[in-house]
């Protein structure tokens, strides 16, 4: 009798749970989708700065035909429903103290630390969202051969935290489209970070380096930044 009651109890429990569980076919479909998503996502590469520099392909640069209009930006960002474009979403993500978001994604208040120079900023209008590897440098390094769609993806890349950064407008103007052979952040504390993220961005997008750039990177990779780790995920 006890066994019969136990069997009945288990049967009732199964019936109660049945509506909560997806049918076997749905479970199989969900498992397949999860596996497919895991296969589709490229794995992050992790290496030392010196080894990462060694992965860069070296070629001559060519600025012929470049215009900023070749890289469509800014687009609607990752959240197309928030009313903010890519640059505003980067500012929101990098805020030390979150600003108030008003109509038309107008940002008021908030606080940021400018990456390149360490300046504390409380006015979003004083900041630029900079391409760590500038558009002109990207063009020189291989983007001239890309499709318009890939250049747009590069110019609005929020898939890697290091591609787009909030910095003071003044310092971004000084950086312009220079590579590390001609410009480094004025704040020494971030120069190793910058070098690692420069190489990371180039590897992510399979961009090349010229001879002077490579030599400048080696100076940091084999000297003060030898302990820097580079992480990157190849862009699709």
Residue 19 scores a pLDDT above 70: no
Q: What per-residue confidence (pLDDT) applies to 5?
A: 43
Pick from 19-28, 47-56, 180-189: least confident: 19-28
pLDDT at 127: 98
Q: Is 8 exposed, middle or buried (0-12, 13-18, 19+ CB in 10 A)?
A: exposed
Q: Higher confidence at residue 36 or residue 16?
A: 36
Q: Residue 2: is its pLDDT beyond 50?
A: no
Mean pLDDT, rounded, for 50-65: 97
- What is the average pLDDT value for the chain, to the nearest integer? 88
- pLDDT 10s digits, 160-194: 999 999 999 999 999 999 999 999 999 999 999 99
pLDDT at 54: 98
- The per-residue pLDDT for range 188-223, each reduced to its tens digit, is 999 999 999 999 999 999 999 999 999 999 999 999
φ, ψ dihedrals at 229, nearest 5°: -105, 135
Q: What value does the mean pLDDT take over residues 126-151?
A: 98
pLDDT at 24 over 70: no
What Rg do the C-alpha atoms of the chain give, in angstroms? 24
Tell me what percent of the residues of the chain surpass a pLDDT of 90. 81
Res. 80: pLDDT tops 50: yes
């Amino acid at each position: 009798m006890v066994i019969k009651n136990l069997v009945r109890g288990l049967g009732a429990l199964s019936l109660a749970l049945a509506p909560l569980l997806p049918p076997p076919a749905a479970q199989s479909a969900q498992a397949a989708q999860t596996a497919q998503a895991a296969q589709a996502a490229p794995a992050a590469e992790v290496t030392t700065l010196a080894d990462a520099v060694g992965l860069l392909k070296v070629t001559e640069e060519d600025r012929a035909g470049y215009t900023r209009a070749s890289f469509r930006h800014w687009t609607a960002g990752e959240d197309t429903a928030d009313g903010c474009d890519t640059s505003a979403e980067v500012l929101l993500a990098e805020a030390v103290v979150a600003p108030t978001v008003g109509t038309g994604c107008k940002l008021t208040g908030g606080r940021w630390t400018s990456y390149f120079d360490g300046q504390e900023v409380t006015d979003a209008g004083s900041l630029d969202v900079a391409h760590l590897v500038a558009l002109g440098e990207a063009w020189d390094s291989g983007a001239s051969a890309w499709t318009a769609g890939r250049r747009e993806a590069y110019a609005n890349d929020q898939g890697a935290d290091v591609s787009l950064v909030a910095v003071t407008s003044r310092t971004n103007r000084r950086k312009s489209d220079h590579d590390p052979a001609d410009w480094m952040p004025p704040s020494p504390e971030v120069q190793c970070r910058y070098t690692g993220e420069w190489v990371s961005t180039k590897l992510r997008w399979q961009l090349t380096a010229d001879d002077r750039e490579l030599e400048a990177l080696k100076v940091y990779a084999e000297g003060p930044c030898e302990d820097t780790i580079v992480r990157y995920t190849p862009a699709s």
